[in-house]
Structure 1
Amino acid sequence: MISTFKRPSLTGLLLIKAIQQTHTSRIYSKPPKDKIGPMQSVFALCVFAVTLLAPAGWIMHHVPEYRQRTPPHP
């Protein structure tokens, strides 16, 4: 297997180092006004889990029906 990864040249490495040294983040943030409690965090995680897993569960539940269908005619 031939690797397509190419090592950067010396000038490329120097350029990357120069950019990294001169780059400063311009993101400023304040502390939150209200702290989020553990119940709100658990609720948010449950909502994300249901949002991601419900469609996959629906598909997995209906796989036998999908297999019994005749393929569409072109």
Structure 2
Amino acid sequence: MSLLFRRPTLTRLLLLKNIKQNQRSTICSKPPKEKIGPVQSTFALCVFAVTLLAPAGWIMHHIPEYRRQGQNTST
């Protein structure tokens, strides 16, 4: 019989159950110590949007220059 389809032994099942119980005990369900206000949330969202959109805007702004450089090198 293949080792892959062997039934797990009782000790292995107990070990897995013990591991699952230990993992659950590390979860913290307390409320946060400091509440984040709307100003901080808005600032964080703006910074996140700028960090994503600024490089894309830079590339799109310079597309005509990239095209001209590509045409000059290919001829």
State the TM-score, normalized to the length of structure 1: 0.59
* Aligned twin of 2:42: 42
| 1:70 CA drift (Å) | 3.5
Amino acid at match of 1:61: H
- Say yes or no: does 1:30 pair with 2:38: no
CA distance in structure 2 between the partners assigned to 1:67 and 1:50 by the alignment? 26
CA distance in structure 1 between the partners assigned to 2:52 and 2:70 by the alignment? 29
Deviating 4+ runs (over 4 angstroms): 22-25
Gaps of 5+ in 1: 1-21
Gaps of 5+ in 2: 1-16
CA distance in structure 2 between the partners assigned to 1:66 and 1:42 by the alignment? 35
- Say yes or no: does 1:53 pair with 2:53: yes
**Higher helix proportion, which one?**
2
Amino acid at match of 1:51: T
| 1:29 CA drift (Å) | 3.1
| 1:30 CA drift (Å) | 1.9
CA RMSD, Structure 1 to Structure 2 (Å): 2.3
* Aligned twin of 2:64: 64
Give the number of aligned pairs: 52
